[in-house]
Amino acid sequence: MTPIAPLRTRPRQALSVLLIALGLSQAFGSLFGFSSIESFGKWSLASPLPLVFTGSGYEQFALEIEIELINKDGTANRHKLGRGDFSRIGGPFIRRGAYALAIAFAPNLPPELTRSVLRKAFCNKGPLARGLTSDAVDKVSLFLRPKGASGQTTVTFRCPKL
C-alpha cells in the first residue's frame, strides 16, 4: 500500500506548483519584463498585482492627508485625516468609501467631479464636516503628501452660498 500513496500525492503536488506559478505569473512577468506572461496572469484573474492605481506615479494609498476647514465665521480647523475619522461618519459604508476615494484621487480626477462629491461631503452641514466637528464650512483645502516624499498637492474649493 505504501507505493500507491506517493502516486496519489504527485498530481496534488503538480497542481499546487501550477497554482503557485499562475498566482505569481503577473508579478514575474512585470518584474522581468515578459509582457505576455504578465498579461496572462492579469487576465486569468488569479494573479493579483496591486499596481492598479499607480499608473500616474501617484500612490493614493500612501498619503498623508490634512484637511483645513474654514468656517463662515472665519475660524479654521485643521485635521490630519486617518482611518478612524471615517468611522465617526454616519451613513452607509459605500458613501464613506466614495468620499475617501474622492479625497485620495482628487489630483487625478477631473476637478468638477472631485468638487461636486466633496461639496456634498463638506458643505451645508455635510457628513464629513459633521464628522470633523465643523458645521458651517465656507472653504475646504485638502493637502495631500506622499509618505516619505517631498512636495504636496493642494485642492481647494469654496462651499456655495445658500
Strands (DSSP E) along 26-152, which ranges?
Answer: 63-71, 76-81, 137-146
pLDDT at 87: 76
| 55 falls within a domain | no
**Residue owning grid cell 452660498:** 161
pLDDT at 37: 87
* Same-domain pairing of 110 and 140: yes
* Same-domain pairing of 76 and 129: yes
Domain count for the chain: 2
| 15 falls within a domain | yes
| 53 falls within a domain | no
* Same-domain pairing of 150 and 76: yes
Q: How far is CA 114 from CA 26, 73, 156, in A?
A: 32, 25, 10
Containing structural domain, residue 93: 63-158
N-terminal to C-terminal alpha carbon distance within the chain? 84
| Secondary structure (H, E, C), 20-57 | HHHHHHHHHHHHHCCHHHHHHHHHHCCCCCCCCCCCCC
Quote the DSSP letter at residue 90.
Answer: -
Kindly give the confidence (pLDDT) of every residue in the chain, 162 residues in length, as a single tens digit, with 9 standing for 90 and above: 555 555 567 888 888 888 898 888 888 888 888 888 888 888 887 777 765 555 555 566 668 889 999 998 989 989 888 777 777 777 888 888 888 888 888 888 888 898 899 999 899 888 888 887 777 889 999 998 877 677 788 889 999 887
* Same-domain pairing of 95 and 34: no
| 57 falls within a domain | no
* Same-domain pairing of 24 and 87: no
> Which secondary-structure segment (H or E) carries 158?
strand 153-158
* Same-domain pairing of 79 and 115: yes
* Same-domain pairing of 84 and 153: yes
| Distance from C-alpha of 117 to C-alpha of 96, rounded to nearest angstrom | 11
* Same-domain pairing of 12 and 85: no
* Same-domain pairing of 19 and 94: no
| 137 falls within a domain | yes
| 87 falls within a domain | yes
pLDDT at 153: 85
| Distance from C-alpha of 140 to C-alpha of 117, rounded to nearest angstrom | 13
* Same-domain pairing of 40 and 70: no
| Distance from C-alpha of 116 to C-alpha of 71, rounded to nearest angstrom | 19
**Residue owning grid cell 475617501:** 100
